[in-house]
Chains A and B, each alone.
Chain A
Amino acid sequence: MRQLRFIAKKEFYHILRDPRSLAIAIAMPILMTFLYGYAINLDIENIVVAVVDFDRTLESRQLADRLYQSTYFSRPERSVVFEDPEAALRRSQAAAIMIIRPGFGEAVRGRERFSLGMLVDGSDNTLSAAIQHYSSVIVADYTRDQMPLNLTVPFIEISTQVLYNPDLKSSHFFVPGLVAIILMMISALLTSITITREKETGTLEQLRTAPVKPWVILSGKIAPYILLALLDGILVLVAAELLFGIPFAGSELLLLGFGLIYVSAALSVGILISSLVKTQQVAMIAALTSTMLPSVMLSGFIFAIRNMPRPLQGLAHIVPAKYFVTIIRGIMLKGAGLDILVIHGLSLVALMAVLMTVAARKFDTRAG
């Protein structure tokens, strides 16, 4: 136990003496939080829609005003050329163009059927679907308001109430999942680097001639990185609260418990990588590619796993992030307890146990 303390303390010296690794460990989570929280924004806001009004009546202007009063749409900076409205789409000056043919005002007054034209830029399919949805809602709203008060028609609508993320903010969706990605990457990266560094300096071999057990070397070396990973997790969660106002509905302690299991799995991945490679550089590349890609793609962090082809769904089952993304979203957004998360939790524990066993065995073997 005393040896373990010495190794852990020495590891802290390494961390403090190597500003680059420390910078990666601290700056990367913050940078990624900003990226996923702000830049990658799937919320629909201020989409530029041009209105080409051939009708030029009171009603056509009312409709256009209604469109722009909503927070979803805004006016293009330049007016659209009437002869070739599509040019605005080609030049990306607008995401959609509403064309109001002559006769709109008359049709509204006479309560006749009328068809509005809409050109939508389909190259961004998320956006185009949203434009279609929101614009038809606004048009329906407008026509309902034009009904004389004495005339009532049965009007049935669905009143949807969104739970757990009422504003459907993408930051609420991304940031908890981001904790999973960051913990996996940082833990695997730093562990594989610190072990390959001792391989490069030859000190690992020196330790093997000393009366210290391999598991003590291993535990002592990774203990500081468990703390560092947890610090990163807290950093992202604090940012989530302060910057994006993401609520924390569930138990912090439960999340910490699962976090420790998850970090252990991630560290094991790092140990495995270090047993396969010889230099820090290769370790860094291997750790980033082998954790980043599966954790982002196959964890449900962005893409729903159930919509994937079968083989990929199978592969997702051995990605630790898949379980932790579900767990952390459940705890943070829904306040889910252990009773609900038990299946995911057990899967994560099993995965960690397998990874740890393999990693410890790999680390134990002697060179040549």
Chain B
Amino acid sequence: MSFVTVSGLHKSYGRVRAVVDFSLTIDRGQIYALVGPDGAGKTTVIRALCHLTAADGGSITIAGRDAARQFNEIKPILGYMPQVFSLYPDLTVEENLWFYAGIYGVTGSHYHEKSEYLYRFSNLKPFAGRRAQNLSGGMKQKLALSCALMHDPELLVLDEPTTGVDPLSRRQFWEILLELKRQGVTILVSTPYMDEVARADRAGFVFNGAKLAEGTPEELPKLFEGHLYYLECEPTAALAAALNEIDHLTARRFGGGMHIYIDKGWHHEDLVEPLRRAGVRPGQLKAIKPDLEDCFIQLMEAPQ
């Protein structure tokens, strides 16, 4: 049986439908990533899961307990790290740890053991006496994670923990998550970064409050339909506009070139003439394997 089950979740803020018929399941000991752009509804799902937002409909079960009625029994096994830094800025690193430990009843020698362990984890030991407000973004996130881990939660819920964090800290942060997974912790993490999905066990694409697709990092790119080419060129807006005039073809600027999507059932050889008119020689197109981002963009733009 799955450790976390969300089924048929609905939530509206006034006329805005933040989450529409949202369901997901997470098995024990898995990392599940919610991926999507800002405003997709990731935070609303997470807040409903942590009992911070009352859903309009649907049900949530965590560790066999109904979140709506038995949330107090879920609290001791839940670790939650919100999107915005939510610790006490005027308290030091040590005091923040001490406080959350106290709230969860981790005291005495047990606290010392645990805090030493978390310091090793986070490399925050040299900053123990520094006030939280004076930490860098990455250190703040590690401190927040440490506080959320103080009581050895079975389920860790992280809302965009790596947003606005430098690439090195991001990688370190994920090392920690993978280590936690090895220890048997179940993790739900939301992120706007596609590359982080590769490290999760399963991922759900979220857009406009709904789940577009779900699967393992290997399964998801296979959902891509049609062909993908990389066009090495000067990616000007004019060129993109000219290419997008062509039927069955979508062009999207991508780094120093373009990604060209060609619809299923068509091939770039069928489009030689229109491509030439846009100023592109067929030899310039290189067939590549679609990655998660290509897949997500195609799903997002599909008529719903």
Contacts and interface: CB of A to CB of B under 8 A. Distances in A.
A221 to B, nearest CB: 12
Contact of A210 (B53, B75, B82, B95): B75
B90 A17 contact: yes
Contact of B102 (A6, A13, A202): A6
A212 B54 CA distance: 19
Contacts of A2: 102, 105, 107
A330 to B, nearest CB: 42
Nearest to B52: A205
Interface residues of B, number: 28
Interface in A98-133: none
A329 B216 CA distance: 75
B90 A14 contact: yes
Contacts of B13: 368
Given A2-B105, A6-B103, A10-B95, A209 B80 contact: yes
A145 interface: no
B102 A209 contact: no
A257 interface: no
Nearest to A17: B90
Interface string B27-70: 00000000000000000000000111110000000000000000
Contacts of A310: none
Given A205-B52, A206-B80, A209-B52, A3 B88 contact: no
Interface majority SS on B: helix, strand, loop or mixed?
A: loop
Interface string A210-221: 111000000000
Interface string B228-240: 0000000000000
A210 to B, nearest CB: 5
Contacts of A13: 90-91, 95
Nearest to B79: A209
Contacts of B50: 209
A206 B86 contact: yes
B76 interface: yes
- Most B CB within 10 A of own CB, among A3, A201, A202, A209: A209
Interface of A is mostly: helix
B72 interface: yes
Contacts of B297: none
Contact of A18 (B84, B87, B90, B103): B90
B99 interface: yes
B80 A201 contact: no
A367 B102 contact: no
B103 A209 contact: no
A5 to B, nearest CB: 8
B251 interface: no
A203 B86 contact: yes
14 contacts: A10-B88, A10-B91, A13-B90, A14-B91, A17-B90, A17-B91, A201-B86, A206-B87, A209-B51, A210-B100, A210-B103, A211-B104, A368-B53, A368-B54
Interface of B: 13, 50-54, 72, 75-76, 78, 80, 82, 84-91, 95, 99-100, 102-105, 107
Given A209-B52, A211-B75, 8 more contacts: A6-B102, A13-B91, A201-B88, A203-B87, A206-B80, A209-B80, A211-B72, A366-B53
